[in-house]
Chains A and B, each alone.
Chain A
């Protein structure tokens, strides 16, 4: 397992290089001259002199050939230095790392919501296939998947925070603060899981090994959990990697609506202020989180399916 993890990490190196190029290009290939933006923001009257702009260009490392620029940037990035935010003058890395736990908490909560809604509904839909519990589960999934996160956010705020005053609607705090944004973010993805698990479980329920498990006198619940569901979860887990990506992009909207102090809201603020280094930090960290999630998913996948990538004992 460790060897596999190491191999899998090594395989992500080309992806990382690709991500770094894109991130770097965000500043270097920006249609507006970053040096001018920076210098203007620093200048007292908001209008920088040409000399100040050239100074800024030097400071931002935007001199020399593109290759030189990239190597300079990448070397600093590898040591954890992504430059300073135009807005605050603080190191971008520190600002992102400070906000990352909030976003991970939100994404984690959303994944939990997705699974807690999606998996039971998927099981119900498959076990009672084509009967009323199935129809209800699929209707819920359809509605959940069709409602945009921002719309659901507003609905949840209106019901739970404004009308009933049960839960807070902005900021980060205890678990109660997490509930609404996690619901808003996670519910949309749950619909896909209902459909995926239903189809996958219907297939495994018809497999010979499920009939054979019943033929050895196993009770229905044990057959369902240990054989049918256990096998049906394999494709579900491989889908989780994609979902993490969807949740990360979705979190931008939800973080803004719920004033959640994560990197999504940081990114929106940065766009508004044309804070390019901060945006670079956001892109890079999002990609890293996504890569980390797919690595975790691959490990889980291997653990679930003993056949994956193992050779030698086959005869």
Chain B
């Protein structure tokens, strides 16, 4: 049994311009101690997927369908007190923008006191994330972006959770700090033996640390594969496009291309395959019916009608070739 099993998760927002499916039939599993990367462009539903797992979908969003099992226990429809026992204790979350996720009128100490449930030893917790204990009495506005993000990480690990969800833990900081933060997060995860869901729009970053990667677009997972294989030989036209648009962290960036086309809107999703308006391999059948996410090789899953055609055209696109 996996630590986290998400099945057919569908989270919908009622808006003035009609319903928006931020997550649309999302399914994935996270094994104990595993690092799962979730990658996708802005607005693809990564944050909403994470918040759905936490039972914190903001109104007017509702989980319309699907199941979320943590350690075998169904969470969907679980009472609030049950969620409260899980949040922070079993699942720690690092928020996308630490500048907004830390309360401006509370000190670092006050945040850590809430997170750990303890009255002292907060300095030690700060030191674990590489910060000086002097910062305890600072307010969030008195910290740098990197320091704030580390405080967020300290909050997430305060009670040794079995799962850490890190939502773009490195977007708000510069490139050097990004690498340092990611290394810190990986080290802590390893110490705790915790599983990690690492959310990012940066496939290059994710591919360095994740065991498996889920590629999301418009609320759907289009490919879910072991990282090494996905990077060597992407199993979906969208993954291939993302990969071409990625600056390899150790490369010279000469291969950089855009994904092509503008990201679609959830308000007006394409019929059939969500990538059909931008896909170079699309034909009429793509706009007709939505391809299911199916196993294509051991451990690999992809949602595309024309994998054969795509495989033919893109041989040798990955990093590894």
Within the complex, the shortest CB–CB distance from A134 to chain B, in Å, comes to 14
Contact in complex: B84, A219 (CB < 8 Å): yes
State which size class the interface on B falls in: 35 or more
Q: What DSSP secondary structure best describes chain A's contact surface?
A: helix
Contact in complex: A231, B141 (CB < 8 Å): no
Residues of A within 8 Å of B80, CB to CB, are 220
A280-302 vs B, CB cutoff 8 Å, 1 = contact: the mask equals 00000000000000000000000
Within the complex, the shortest CB–CB distance from B110 to chain A, in Å, comes to 8
- Complexed CA–CA distance, A304 and B139 (Å): 13
Residues of A within 8 Å of B141, CB to CB, are 306-307, 314
Is A177 at the interface (CB under 8 A from chain B)? Answer: no
B35-66 vs A, CB cutoff 8 Å, 1 = contact: the mask equals 00000000000000001001010100000000
Which of B51, B114, B138, B155 is A211 in contact with, Cβ under 8 Å? B51
Contact in complex: B105, A231 (CB < 8 Å): yes
Which of A216, A230, A305, A313 is B158 in contact with, Cβ under 8 Å? A216
Is A104 at the interface (CB under 8 A from chain B)? Answer: no
Is B104 at the interface (CB under 8 A from chain A)? Answer: yes
- The number of chain A residues with a CB under 8 A from chain B is 27
Is B115 at the interface (CB under 8 A from chain A)? Answer: yes
Contacting A at CB under 8 A, from B138-173, are 138-139, 141-144, 152, 155-156, 158-159
Is A274 at the interface (CB under 8 A from chain B)? Answer: no
Is B87 at the interface (CB under 8 A from chain A)? Answer: yes
Is A32 at the interface (CB under 8 A from chain B)? Answer: no
Within the complex, the shortest CB–CB distance from B41 to chain A, in Å, comes to 21
Contact in complex: A217, B87 (CB < 8 Å): yes
- Complexed CA–CA distance, A305 and B104 (Å): 8
Is B69 at the interface (CB under 8 A from chain A)? Answer: no
Within the complex, the shortest CB–CB distance from B133 to chain A, in Å, comes to 16
Within the complex, the shortest CB–CB distance from B56 to chain A, in Å, comes to 6
A219's nearest neighbour on chain B, judged by CB, is B84
B residues lining the A interface (CB < 8 Å): 51, 54, 56, 58, 80, 84-89, 92-93, 95, 97, 100-106, 114-115, 138-139, 141-144, 152, 155-156, 158-159
